């Protein structure tokens, strides 16, 4: 019997008897790996451990700790979920159940339109653990289409997947999502236990006993294939990990993220509220929230002033003709608030600022010497978001864009984009973000406007702007709007979550629709290029992201109340007032909390309100012009600090925006 030789990822080679499987290879490498192995990657393709290896193959053993291993683990857990549900609900059918970040889900259609209760999750969880305890083998099978259709005769969604997968073409996405396997006419499926089989590309762990560190999380509705015209399925989400420790860690992180929820913090810190009488998605800003917002806006304005922008203002409503010209009524009407009828005209609340800025550009004849024109406005817009999409400040129906529109010549596009991107990153950094991820979206396949030369010019301009800024980016081919390519910038927050904030968007459409022009050096009329740029995106949303990023503990320069002075007893009240007067005089936001309550209580209140500095003043301080500074994050209070030193220190922090 001839031996086979396979290569390992480190470049080394192993010789095994012919017919050896990936599991045999793992065992040959070592008992530890044999125990850990759950799947393999053979020549770049995920495979079960049971697959026989071909001579000359490159093989990597998959272990649970790796990304691929976790994916396999989660996918196998999803199968067990489906097995449990199908066993518990006779007549139920199932759709797709892929691994996702941190876990998995599976979509079901229960008989007679039944739905899952949260309590059902416990029942399902118990059944899943029985299946896992039974250590059932996952057994791969393959068949042609006809046979597959027969195996899944009772499962309409699986049959639909089989038909899509084998008809090729655009169904690739679905096949990926479904994990359904098949090249050409061959389809694969996996059985475990006596009565469960699922269409699947694999690979899977060898047996259910390898699973177990999972938790079912929630029930949700999800449209079949994400299409709102299709049936609504019942989706169960779960999380799964290779060890109990990882699972507990993940659940702990979720709990921590919940504590940062900006809606909770907005209420606890008295920043913002959403009175029911206003309607969904509409917030009011309380003094403390408004203070932070004002600092954000003031900083934004000062940067724009220094950055060569012209400030403009525009009304909240305009007649329908503006929105007809801009095209919003054609493309965007569903997201617009309905019109108000007045004096025979229809006035729409604005969902965007751009048409107004266009009219400013049009207000006089423009020369190439005037360009680029950069108009900036903190413009409040109103969008009729779907009720289910509204989410605190992160997605609301009324919000304020830090909106700029740049009108420039084709020749200026590249330089302009580069400086816009630098400006954007520089401002975001000032707010404590230092981890960015960008996405470049290029011309869509389908219909789009503008000549190819212009698209190339703009797309190249965006790309070189990204490169000169040194930003990591990915390319979304064909992901641009019909009217131009764009860059979106995400920031990563303190606990690693990405937030899309900025967008740089070329627009070849509005200049055409509004007939914009400027007089070139050649004396002829030319059409300017228009760039939309939102930096924070929405001030409300940006504030919400900052709130979550800092978990409510705003740095001193942003904190609504920077210092609270606590006299130890009534006799220290006068001195506390003097300290306060000095702080206010220095331009700090400070208050005094009189000695009506015990000191410990007042310290606690100030700490709960996440103040950066709590100053305690007593006999020693009155005598020596000092304060006791209990700074947020410090191990212990600092006593006998000269007031002058404290002022100097705080001023430095604020100046450095820390």
> If binding is defined by CB under 7 A, does position 396 make contact with RNA?
yes
Q: Which of 528, 539, 555 is nearest to 633 (CA)?
A: 555
Considering only the C-alpha atoms of the chain, give the largest distance between any 2 of them, rounded to a whole number of Å: 98
One residue of 235, 366, 373, 374 binding RNA per CB under 7 A: 235
Q: How far is the CB of 251 from RNA (least distance, A)?
A: 14
* For RNA, the closer CB: 328 or 526: 328
Q: Which of 83, 6, 68 is nearest to 38 (CA)?
A: 68
> If binding is defined by CB under 7 A, does position 385 make contact with RNA?
yes
Q: How far is the CB of 79 from RNA (least distance, A)?
A: 20
One residue of 69, 181, 182, 281 binding RNA per CB under 7 A: 281
Q: How far is the CB of 280 from RNA (least distance, A)?
A: 3
Segment 585 to 604, residues that bind RNA, using CB under 7 A: 595-601, 603-604
One residue of 318, 614, 643, 654 binding RNA per CB under 7 A: 614
**Which segment (80-88, 215-223, 356-364, 413-421) binds RNA by CB under 7 A?**
215-223
Sheet holding 45-47, edge to edge: 45-47, 39-42, 59-62
* Distance in angstroms between the alpha carbons of the first and the last residue of the chain: 72
Q: How far is the CB of 518 from RNA (least distance, A)?
A: 27
* For RNA, the closer CB: 274 or 554: 274
Residues with a catalytic annotation lie at: 354, 383, 401, 403, 405, 486, 532
Segment 297 to 316, residues that bind RNA, using CB under 7 A: none
Contact 165, 171 (CB under 8 A): yes
One residue of 389, 472, 581, 652 binding RNA per CB under 7 A: 389
Reduce the secondary structure of 260-287 to three states and give it as a string.
CCHHHHHHHCCCEECCHHHCCCCCEECH
- CA–chain centroid gap for 480, Å, is 19
Segment 638 to 657, residues that bind RNA, using CB under 7 A: 639
Q: Which two tokens stand for residue 127?
A: 């059944």
Size of site (CB under 7 A) for RNA: 73
Count of CB atoms situated within 10 Å of the CB of 482: 14
> If binding is defined by CB under 7 A, does position 74 make contact with RNA?
no
Q: Which two tokens stand for residue 16?
A: 């095994």
Q: How far is the CB of 440 from RNA (least distance, A)?
A: 15
Long-range contacts, stretch 181-185, CB < 8 angstroms, 24+ apart:
185/144, 185/145
> What is the number of residues in the chain?
658
Task: Classify the phi-psi angles of 85: left when phi > 0, otherwise alpha if psi is within -120 to 50, otherwise beta.
Answer: alpha
> If binding is defined by CB under 7 A, does position 110 make contact with RNA?
no
Segment 332 to 371, residues that bind RNA, using CB under 7 A: 335
* For RNA, the closer CB: 357 or 541: 541
The single residue listed with the structure tokens 């359904």 is 180
Q: How far is the CB of 292 from RNA (least distance, A)?
A: 17
> If binding is defined by CB under 7 A, does position 284 make contact with RNA?
no
Contact 462, 486 (CB under 8 A): yes
**Which segment (51-59, 207-215, 225-233, 366-374) binds RNA by CB under 7 A?**
225-233
* For RNA, the closer CB: 501 or 580: 501
One residue of 387, 474, 496, 522 binding RNA per CB under 7 A: 387
The helix, strand and coil proportions of the chain, stated in percent and rounded to the nearest 5, come to: 40, 30, 30
The single residue listed with the structure tokens 């195996």 is 151
Decide: residue 174, CB within 10 A, 0-12 exposed, 13-18 middle, 19+ buried: middle
**Which segment (13-21, 218-226, 301-309, 440-448) binds RNA by CB under 7 A?**
218-226
* For RNA, the closer CB: 212 or 480: 480
Round to whole Å and give the CA distance between 435 and 433.
Answer: 6
Decide: residue 92, CB within 10 A, 0-12 exposed, 13-18 middle, 19+ buried: middle
Sheet holding 345-349, edge to edge: 317-319, 345-349, 340-342
Which whole-number Å values give the CA distances from 236 to 14, 239, 578, in the listed order? 43, 10, 61
Q: Is the peptide bond before 372 cis (omega within 30 degrees of 0)?
A: yes
* For RNA, the closer CB: 355 or 618: 618
Segment 561 to 590, residues that bind RNA, using CB under 7 A: 568-571
- CA–chain centroid gap for 605, Å, is 33
Q: How far is the CB of 196 from RNA (least distance, A)?
A: 24
One residue of 69, 372, 560, 618 binding RNA per CB under 7 A: 618
One residue of 344, 388, 470, 523 binding RNA per CB under 7 A: 388
> If binding is defined by CB under 7 A, does position 221 make contact with RNA?
yes
Q: How far is the CB of 306 from RNA (least distance, A)?
A: 24
Segment 521 to 550, residues that bind RNA, using CB under 7 A: 534, 537-538, 540-541
One residue of 88, 220, 284, 472 binding RNA per CB under 7 A: 220
Q: How far is the CB of 141 from RNA (least distance, A)?
A: 30
Q: What are φ and ψ of residue 566, in 5° steps?
A: -115, 110
> If binding is defined by CB under 7 A, does position 620 make contact with RNA?
yes
Q: How far is the CB of 302 from RNA (least distance, A)?
A: 22
> If binding is defined by CB under 7 A, does position 26 make contact with RNA?
no
* For RNA, the closer CB: 235 or 366: 235
* For RNA, the closer CB: 117 or 142: 117
Q: What are φ and ψ of residue 111, in 5° steps?
A: -60, 145
Concatenated DSSP letters of 394-431? TB-SEEEEEEEEEEE-GGGHHHHHHHHHHHHHHHHHHT
Round to whole Å and give the CA distance between 433 and 471.
Answer: 14
One residue of 17, 56, 279, 587 binding RNA per CB under 7 A: 279
One residue of 48, 71, 493, 621 binding RNA per CB under 7 A: 621
* For RNA, the closer CB: 27 or 390: 390
**Which segment (21-29, 114-122, 336-344, 468-476) binds RNA by CB under 7 A?**
114-122
* For RNA, the closer CB: 155 or 397: 397
Estimate the crossing angle of helix 539-549 against helix 287-306, to 10 degrees.
Answer: 110
* For RNA, the closer CB: 38 or 631: 631
Decide: residue 513, CB within 10 A, 0-12 exposed, 13-18 middle, 19+ buried: middle
One residue of 226, 244, 249, 587 binding RNA per CB under 7 A: 226
> If binding is defined by CB under 7 A, does position 176 make contact with RNA?
no
Q: How far is the CB of 236 from RNA (least distance, A)?
A: 10
Q: How far is the CB of 278 from RNA (least distance, A)?
A: 9
Round to whole Å and give the CA distance between 593 and 602.
Answer: 7
Binding track, positions 487-506, relative to RNA; x by CB under 7 A: -x-----------xx-x---
**Which segment (80-88, 111-119, 140-148, 158-166) binds RNA by CB under 7 A?**
111-119
* For RNA, the closer CB: 59 or 501: 501
Q: Which of 2, 11, 3 is nearest to 59 (CA)?
A: 11
Q: What are φ and ψ of residue 160, in 5° steps?
A: -65, -40
């Amino acid at each position: 019997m001839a031996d086979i030789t396979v290569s390992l990822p480190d470049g080394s080679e192993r010789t095994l008897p012919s017919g050896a499987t990936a599991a045999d290879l793992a065992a040959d490498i070592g008992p530890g790996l044999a125990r850990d192995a759950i799947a393999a990657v053979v020549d770049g393709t995920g495979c079960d451990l049971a697959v026989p290896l071909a001579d000359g193959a490159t093989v990597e053993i998959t272990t649970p700790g790796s990304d691929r291993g976790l994916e396999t683990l989660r996918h196998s857990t999803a199968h067990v979920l489906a097995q449990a549900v199908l066993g518990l609900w006779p007549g139920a059918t199932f759709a797709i159940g892929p691994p996702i970040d941190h876990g998995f889900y599976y979509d079901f259609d229960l008989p007679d339109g039944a739905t899952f209760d949260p309590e059902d999750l416990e029942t399902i969880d118990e059944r899943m653990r029985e299946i896992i305890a039974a250590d059932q083998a996952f057994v791969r099978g393959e068949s042609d289409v006809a046979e597959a259709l027969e195996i899944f005769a009772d499962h309409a969604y699986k049959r639909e997947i089989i038909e899509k997968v084998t008809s090729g073409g655009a169904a690739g996405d679905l096949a990926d999502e479904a994990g359904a396997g098949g090249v050409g006419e061959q389809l694969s499926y996996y059985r475990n236990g006596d009565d469960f089989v699922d269409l699947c590309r694999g690979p899977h762990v060898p047996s259910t006993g390898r699973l177990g560190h999972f938790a079912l999380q929630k029930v949700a509705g999800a449209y079949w294939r994400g299409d709102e015209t299709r049936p609504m399925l019942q989706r169960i989400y779960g999380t799964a990990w290779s060890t109990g420790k990882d699972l507990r860690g993940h659940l702990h992180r979720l709990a921590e993220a919940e504590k940062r929820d900006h809606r909770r913090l907005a209420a606890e810190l008295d920043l913002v509220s959403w009175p029911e009488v206003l309607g969904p998605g509409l917030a009011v800003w309380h003094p403390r929230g408004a203070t932070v917002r004002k600092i954000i806006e003031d900083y934004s304005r000062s940067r724009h002033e220094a950055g060569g922008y012209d400030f403009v203002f525009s009304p909240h409503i305009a007649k329908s003709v503006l929105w007809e010209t801009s095209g919003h009524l054609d493309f965007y009407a569903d997201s617009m608030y309905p019109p108000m009828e007045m004096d025979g005209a229809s006035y729409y609340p604005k969902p965007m600022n751009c048409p107004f800025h266009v009219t400013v550009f049009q207000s006089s004849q423009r020369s190439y010497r005037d360009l680029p024109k950069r108009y900036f406005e903190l413009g409040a817009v109103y969008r009729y978001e779907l009720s289910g999409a509204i989410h605190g400040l992160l997605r609301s129906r009324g919000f304020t864009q830090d909106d700029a529109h740049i009108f420039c010549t084709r020749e200026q596009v590249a330089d302009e984009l580069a400086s816009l991107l630098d400006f954007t990153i520089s401002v975001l950094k000032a707010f404590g973000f230092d981890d960015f991820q960008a996405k470049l979206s290029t011309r869509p396949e389908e219909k789009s406007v503008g000549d190819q030369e212009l698209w190339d010019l703009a797309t190249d301009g965006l790309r070189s702007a990204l490169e000169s800024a040194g930003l990591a980016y990915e390319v979304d081919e064909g992901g641009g709007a019909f009217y131009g390519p764009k860059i979106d910038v995400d920031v990563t927050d303190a606990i690693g979550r990405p937030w899309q904030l900025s967008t740089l968007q070329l627009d070849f459409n509005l200049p055409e629709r509004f007939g914009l022009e400027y007089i070139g050096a050649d004396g002829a009329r030319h059409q300017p290029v228009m760039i939309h740029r939102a930096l924070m995106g929405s001030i409300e949303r940006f504030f919400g992201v900052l709130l979550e990023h800092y978990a409510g503990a705003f740095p001193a320069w942003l904190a609504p109340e920077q210092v609270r002075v606590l006299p130890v007893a009534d006799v220290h009240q006068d001195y506390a007032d003097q300290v306060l007067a000095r702080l206010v005089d220095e331009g700090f936001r400070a208050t005094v909390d009189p000695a009506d309550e015990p000191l410990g209580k007042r310290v606690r209140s100030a700490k709960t309100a996440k103040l950066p500095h709590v100053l305690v003043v007593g006999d020693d301080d009155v005598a020596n012009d000092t304060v006791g500074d209990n700074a947020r994050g410090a191990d212990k209070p600092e006593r006998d600090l000269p007031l002058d030193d404290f002022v100097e220190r705080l001023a430095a922090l604020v100046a450095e925006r820390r």
